[in-house]
Amino acid sequence: MTIYPAIDIKGGRCVRLTQGRADQETVYFENPAEVAALFQAAGSAWVHVVDLDGAFTGEPRNLAKVADIAALGLKVQLGGGMRTRATVEQALAAGVSRVVIGTRAAESDAFVGDLVQAFGPKIAVGIDAKNGQVAVKGWVDTTGTGAVALARRMDTLGVATLIYTDIGTDGMLTGPNLAAQETMAAAVKAQVIASGGVAQLSDVTALCALAARQANLHGVIIGKAIYEKRLTLADALRAALV
């Protein structure tokens, strides 16, 4: 299983939001590249980066900071404000390895299909759900679309990677929603990256055990638990190799 330590950028700084709420912000680092270097030193090959300003405004605002992270030699998976082909191309030009489409995926299958045709596995889709329903625009709006239904549509389009975030557990340090992640992975052929709720090392081992049964459960994103020192990235990386 691949561990994706998370870096959320808002106003150029590394922050975390509780359940995606802009008014529930904690600043951890002034320079996102600084924490990225720490993740790299711990042994991580990937980082999951979210441009929160992009998610809220609809266009990326922190690509220079993202480029600094990519320049370290890390593989960057980037989401937040990726709503036009031009912004996707800008992100890839900045050194991003995989671009995550969120809001636009819920709005337009054609948009995602065109990107997959052009960029293949460099395109991922992020599916963020509240009570099983897709949420968009920085989690501000909830759609009437079911998360699994959207995932199956994206799977049919050839999307190679789906990132499934259970908003109810995100940033809450209450443990991942294992049942929801298993349901999602079982519904599609694409590789699934779990996001939300990891609080301690046993949560990582539980997801690894689930991945042993559900082979396309490919990875997990870990954010607040690392920043709050509930677990170390090095320990999570070791657990994922077992």
List the catalytic residues: 8, 128
Cβ burial 178-193 (10 Å sphere, 16+ → b, else e) = bebbbbbbebbebbbb
- Per DSSP, the three-state class of 4 is strand
- Round to whole Å and give the CA distance between 73 and 69: 8
What letter does residue 95 receive in the DSSP assignment?
A: T
Q: Is the dihedral of CA 169, 173, 174, 176 positive or negative?
A: positive
- Round to whole Å and give the CA distance between 224 and 173: 7
Between the alpha carbon of residue 164 and those of residues 31, 93, 200, 236, the distances in Å are 27, 26, 19, 19
- Round to whole Å and give the CA distance between 13 and 65: 9
- Round to whole Å and give the CA distance between 69 and 84: 22
